[in-house]
Amino acid sequence: MGILDSKIPSGPLADKWTKHKNDINLVNPANKRNIDIIVVGTGLAGGAAAATLAELGYNVKTFCYQDSPRRAHSIAAQGGINAAKNYQGDGDSNYRLFYDTIKGGDYRSREANVYRLAEVSGNIIDQCVAQGVPFAREYGGMLDNRSFGGVLVSRTFYAKGQTGQQLLLGAYAAMNRQINRGKIQSYTRHEMMDLVLVDGKARGIIARNLVTGEIERHSGHAVVLATGGYGNVFFLSTNAMGSNVMAAWRAHRKGAFFANPCFTQIHPTCIPVSGEHQSKLTLMSESLRNDGRIWVPKKMEDAVAIREGKLKPTQIAEEDRDYYLERRYPAFGNLVPRDVASRAAKERCDAGFGVNKTGEAVYLDFASAIKRYGKEKALTSGIKNPDEATIIKLGEEVIEAKYGNLFQMYEKIVDQNPYKTPMMIYPAVHYTMGGLWVDYNLQTTIPGCYSAGEANFSDHGANRLGASALMQGLADGYFVLPYTIGDYLSDDIRTGAIPTDSEAFDEAEKQVRDRMEKLMSGTGIHSVDYYHKKLGKIMWNKCGMARNAKGLEEAIKEISELRKDFWENVKIPGTIDSKNQELEKAGRVADFLELGELFAKDALHRNESCGGHFREEYQTEEGEALRDDKNFKYVAAWEYKGEPKDAELHKEDLVYENIELKTRSYK
Amino acid sequence: MKLYLKIWRQKDASSPGKIVDYTLDGVEGDMSFLEMLDILNEELVSKGEEPVEFDHDCREGICGTCSLQINGEPHGPDRLVTTCQLHMRKFNDGDTIVIEPFKAKAFPVIKDLIVDRSAFERIQQAGGYISVNTSGNTVDANAIPINKHDADEAMDAATCIGCGACVAACKNASAMLFTSAKVSQFALLPQGRIEAVERVQNMVRQMDLEGFGNCTNTGACEVECPKGISLTNIARMNREYLSASLKG
């Protein structure tokens, strides 16, 4: 199987994690005090890992580019977090969560990792409640659940439409407790510029203080990269403006393999693009698909009239609406997985049925949910024979209680009232399943360099199910990495502090300085954003929701040319040794310009359609994804060899011992 | 539309700053306020000038990074939004807009419109947590039922995004709304009661040490808060503080 060893423990699936925890080496509490760990990124995965490692007794240094760990982009996750608690008694179990996740990921993730994820999911909810996370509750005082796409049970826990915020603030609070104890040193407004390897092991980082511009050296016995995804390679995405791939890409250049870069999630329910000035896209939570019905007009003339502003959606009769998800996928209806819902929206819009002025939008309609809830509320409130207006008023109140903050956000951005007229939505880049290759212990191919959360490739295969990102981030951070990293560190109890005056640190720092000086030396007229937007257009048009060989080949060529142009010409004002936001952006875009090419190369080599990766050449007669398990049932892990075009492919074959591979069907 | 911008420029913490005038054309109503500044910065960069630096990240109103005092109001004229969710349709062609950093002694300017809000960090570090280790075997999440009303109220307090608008809105630069939101969240939950006495004392002590002013109940913080955090949280914190003092 080549040089990739996934280190999956032997034994029955359900026993692997317990057995592994019993088998691995531990570091005794006294020795933990002599071991330093660097955690880069303070979102759910990094924040949870930092807090837990510090509780265990390790000395932790955390780094984030934001001015506070609380601002990591996990904060923007809206809908919820999955856990196999079976509080609703609807037949949920660890196995079912495991099965749904593997199937949802279109059979491109590891059984053992995903089972472990399901196994610890319940612990996450227990832990968060103990931390004071205010999850939604029912009147009896018990926790409430909702449903998400791609599953037939209600296992999603939530805190209004701000679940990510509340979970992150929980991890942040746990971090604060350790900062107060002196066990975590928190470096905010700091960016990791490079990974430092000493004798082949990850032993530190070079960081830039974003306030002063100073270059700093930090050493540790291990480095954890929990730096999120790379969706901003598309320029427009639901990621934060600062979200970037720099830490992961720097590690990749130093020897960490990058896995499945082309597995990207395009989320079906985002607010459509309004114009050229747009800087980012805003998600409308998948939870809205619990109650919203997605449709476009059945008749082309109606669609045209709507686009021209001559017709309103509310004027279109029920029988003239095409609820295309309910039509195509009767079993799951509006709650099909994200990749399926996104492609179906694109199909309708490409066919000419889009409903906004750009032709790239579909409706998400709450009118029938408002009536349904209104009637129920009237009944339970003892109102006999309520009139239409009363029903709608009561129904709107129920919808407001469930999704009020999302509706408010929509109204602020679009300037339309979604209680009275359907929302307009369109797919947008949201999450990246690909990332640094890690083994079962979450260690990359560089000894001592670990990766957690969205930054690694594990668990979600080719498509992530809703409410599973929060679950994975916290599982990695609270319950997996703090155990597995001990096994590696048990060899380091006599190492002592790692000095930062070594040749390895000198060399890494020099490279960082040279790179920044080269960036500043551009002689052209265009800003960093100019290049980033150009890259984004190439990615969206040729590596987006549907891909083909010709487009991908063009993308590879165009990105490579753009990268050359960027390095010669990008214009960056200011200086290196002071606060300089343009320079910060330039460093990030430089790495996106390499990653983008590898992305296209990966998509080109994978001659199949699976999950979020849809190759037009490989589809069924009904337009569904056509997987090729015979030839592509593997993780594609790329080794850096200079230019992205020279990257070398290593395959980790995926072994399914417990699940039968099937064609994914949501009909 | 065409706008006349008056923007605070300051090289770094130790240099004096001043208001600089800019004229910006071609602004559309669908743009967010920060996208308007993006366009200004594109123009500045193309002229070889240093762009106006401002804090921003998620641009969907939840991370709390963006700030700005716009025509004297934190996050501008619209209610219940952060600057990133403020849209230019709230302004008119020919308007003059004054853009300054959040102003408070405890929030020193770093550069241009960026301020240092690390005082908020230290308040949270002083006690904004429940002391529970990660174990995987705390009690089951449903073992302690929590009254829905209390849970909902705790959630309302917990929605604070830590942006600092409450401080910037207050004539005393008080951080009472920010601090009380966290104190309230935990005071309302059974898990948080165990450490309630120490928490309120430690957080209030740190708040005072950071140089924030006192609360004189003007209510400006509640009006300007993008998340609608209620003034009743301050009342609850005062109650908690008083009873903690009596317990000694």
Mean pLDDT of B172-192: 98
Q: Among residues A360, A327, A246, which one has the least CA distance to residue A667?
A: A327
Residues of B in contact with A159 (CB under 8 A): 155, 158
Pairing of strands B3-9, A362-365: unpaired
> Pairing relation of β-strands A258-259 and A435-436?
antiparallel
Mark yes or no for CB contact B129/A282 under 8 Å: no
Q: Alpha helices, DSSP H only, in A525-664?
A: 528-542, 549-569, 581-605, 629-632
Q: At what angle do helices B176-187 and B148-158 cross, to 10 degrees?
A: 150
Say if residue B238 is exposed, middle or buried (CB neighbours under 10 Å; 0-12, 13-18, 19+).
Answer: middle
Contacts of A47 in chain B (CB under 8 A): none
Q: Give the 3-state secondary structure of residue A561.
A: helix
What count of CB pairs under 8 Å joins A to B?
Answer: 218
Strand runs labelled E in A433-511: 435-436, 449-451
Radius of gyration of chain A (CA): 25
Q: Starting at the edge strand that comes first in sequence, how are the strands of the sheet with A321-322 ordered?
A: A264-270, A423-432, A362-365, A293-297, A321-322
Residue with tokens 């997987």: A627
The CA distance from B33 to B85, in Å, is 7
List, for residues A498-547, the tens digit of each pLDDT value: 999 999 999 999 999 999 999 999 999 999 999 999 999 999 999 999 99
Taking CB atoms and an 8 Å limit, are B154 and A132 in contact across chains?
Answer: yes
- CB-hemisphere CA count at 13 Å for B131? 13
A87 interaction partners in chain B (CB closer than 8 Å)? 142
Query: How far does the CA of residue A610 sit from the closest CA of chain B (Å)?
Result: 30
Residue A539: which of A431, A618, A429, A626 has the closest Cα? A429
pLDDT digits (tens, 9 = 90+) for A221-236: 999 999 999 999 999 9
Give A 93-122 residues with CB within 8 A of chain B. 120, 122
Cβ contact A275–B30 (<8 Å): yes
pLDDT for A623 = 87
User: Pick from A588, A430, A533: which is nearest to B38 by CA?
Assistant: A533
Tell me, what's the pLDDT at B136?
Answer: 87
B209 touching A (Cβ < 8 Å): no
Residue B18 exposed, middle or buried by CB count within 10 Å (0-12, 13-18, 19+) = exposed
CB-based burial, A295-317: b 16+ in 10 Å, e otherwise: bbbbeeebbebbbeeebebeebe
What gap in Å lies between CA B24 and CA B88, rounded to an integer? Answer: 13
Distance from CA of B132 to the nearest CA of A (A): 7
**Rounded to the nearest 10 degrees, what angle do helices A163-180 and A44-56 cross at?**
30
Which residues on B lie below 8 Å from A52 (Cβ)? Answer: 134
Query: What is the phi-psi region of residue B211: left when phi exceeds 0, alpha when psi lies from -120 to 50, beta otherwise?
Result: left
In whole angstroms, give the CA distance from residue A211 to residue B111: 9
Predicted complex ipTM exceeds 0.95: yes
A491-494, Cβ contacts within 8 angstroms, sequence gap of 24 or more? A492/A35, A492/A221, A492/A222, A493/A27, A493/A28, A493/A31, A493/A34, A493/A35
CA separation for the pair B53, B68 (Å, rounded): 11
Average pLDDT of the residues in B195-219: 97
Instruction: Decide if B139 and A55 are in contact by the 8 Å CB cutoff.
Output: no
Q: How far is B13 from chain A (nearest CA, A)?
A: 10
CB atoms A67 and B111 under 8 Å: no
Query: Closest to B28 (Cβ–Cβ): which among A136, A275, A574?
Result: A275
| Residue range A379-394, pLDDT digits in tens | 999 999 999 999 999 9
Q: How many other CB atoms are there within 10 angstroms of residue A293's CB atom?
A: 19
Of A71, A238, A412, the CB nearest to B87: A412
Pairing of strands A423-432, B73-74: unpaired
Report pLDDT for A2.
56
- CB neighbour list of residue B242: distance below 8 Å, 6 or more residues apart: none
Rounded Cα distance between A43 and A73, Å, is 7
CA A217, CA A215: separation in Å to the nearest integer?
7
Q: What is the DSSP letter of A443?
A: B
Task: Check B57 against A241: CB less than 8 A apart.
Answer: yes
Q: Which residues on chain A are in Cβ contact (under 8 Å) with B67?
A: none
Instruction: Tell me whether A401 touches chain B (CB under 8 Å).
Output: no
Phi, psi dihedrals of residue A69, rounded to the nearest 5°? -60, -25
- Looking at the complex, does the CB of residue A131 fall below 8 Å from at least one CB of chain B? yes
Distance (Å, whole) CA A533 – CA A520: 20
Q: Does residue A416 belong to the interface with chain B, where contact is any CB pair within 8 Å?
A: no
Q: pLDDT grade, residue A1 (50/70/90)? A: very low
Residue to mutate among A169, A186, A244, with most B CBs inside 10 A, is A169
Q: CB–CB of B63 and A527 under 8 A?
A: no
Average pLDDT for A270-291:
91
CB contacts of A138 in chain B (<8 Å) are 148
Q: What is the mean pLDDT of residues B120-128?
A: 98
Cβ contact A174–B137 (<8 Å):
no
| Average pLDDT value over all residues in chain A | 96
- Stretch 427-486 of chain A: residues touching chain B, C-beta under 8 Å: 478-479, 482
Tell me which residues of chain A, numbers 525 to 544, contact chain B at a CB-CB cutoff of 8 Å. 525-527, 529
A627 vs A130: CA distance, rounded Å: 43
Kindly give the pairing relationship between strand A264-270 and strand A423-432: antiparallel
Amino acid, single-letter form, for residue B72: G
Residues A269-276, mean pLDDT to the nearest whole number: 91
Give A657→chain B minimum CA distance, Å: 28
Query: What integer is the mean pLDDT of B160-189?
Result: 98
Could you tell me if A522 lies within 8 Å of chain B, comparing CB atoms? no
Provide Rg for chain B, Cα atoms. 20
- For A:154-183, CB contacts with B below 8 A are 159-160, 162, 165-166, 169, 172-174, 176-177, 179-180
The torsion angles phi and psi of A202, rounded to 5 degrees, stand at -70, 120
Which chain B residue has its CA at the smallest distance from A130's CA? B191
Q: Given this model, what pLDDT does residue A180 score? A: 98
Place of tokens 């469930």: A402
Cβ A614 vs Cβ A559: under 8 Å: no
Considering only CB atoms, B60 lies closest to which of A130, A275, A409, namely A409
Instruction: Write down the H helix ranges in B100-227.
Output: 118-125, 148-158, 165-169, 176-187, 190-193, 196-209, 220-224
Reported as a single tens digit per residue, the pLDDT across A561-600 is 999 999 999 999 999 999 999 999 999 999 999 999 999 9
* pLDDT-based confidence at residue B248 (cuts at 50, 70, 90): low
Q: How far apart are CA A287 and CA A151, in angstroms?
A: 13
| Inter-chain residue contact B140 with A126, CB threshold 8 Å | yes
pLDDT of A255 higher than 90: yes
Tens-place pLDDT, residues A422-475: 999 999 999 999 999 999 999 999 999 999 999 999 899 999 999 999 999 999
Choose the mutation target among B9, B50, B60 for the interface with A, i.e. most A CBs under 10 Å. Answer: B60
Residue A653 has pLDDT above 90, yes or no: yes
Nearest to A248 by CA among A263, A235, A234, A229: A229
**Of all residues in chain A, what percent are helix, strand and coil, respectively (each to 5)?**
45, 15, 40
Burial of B12 (0-12, 13-18, 19+ CB in 10 A): middle
Nearest in space to A371 (alpha carbons), one of A359, A347, A387: A387
Which residues 198-257 in chain A show a CB within 8 A of chain B? 211, 238, 240-242
Average pLDDT over residues B45-64: 96
CA distances from B209 to A14, A295, B203 (A): 52, 57, 10
Distance (Å) of CA A183 to CA A43, A50, A187, A240: 18, 9, 13, 29
Q: How far apart are CA A446 and CA A195, in angstroms?
A: 10
User: For residue A540, how far is the Cα from the chain centroid?
Assistant: 17
Find the CB nearest A160 among B38, B114, B155: B155
Nearest CA in chain A to B12: A579
Q: What is the reported pTM?
A: 0.97
DSSP state of A480: I
Positions of A marked catalytic: 338
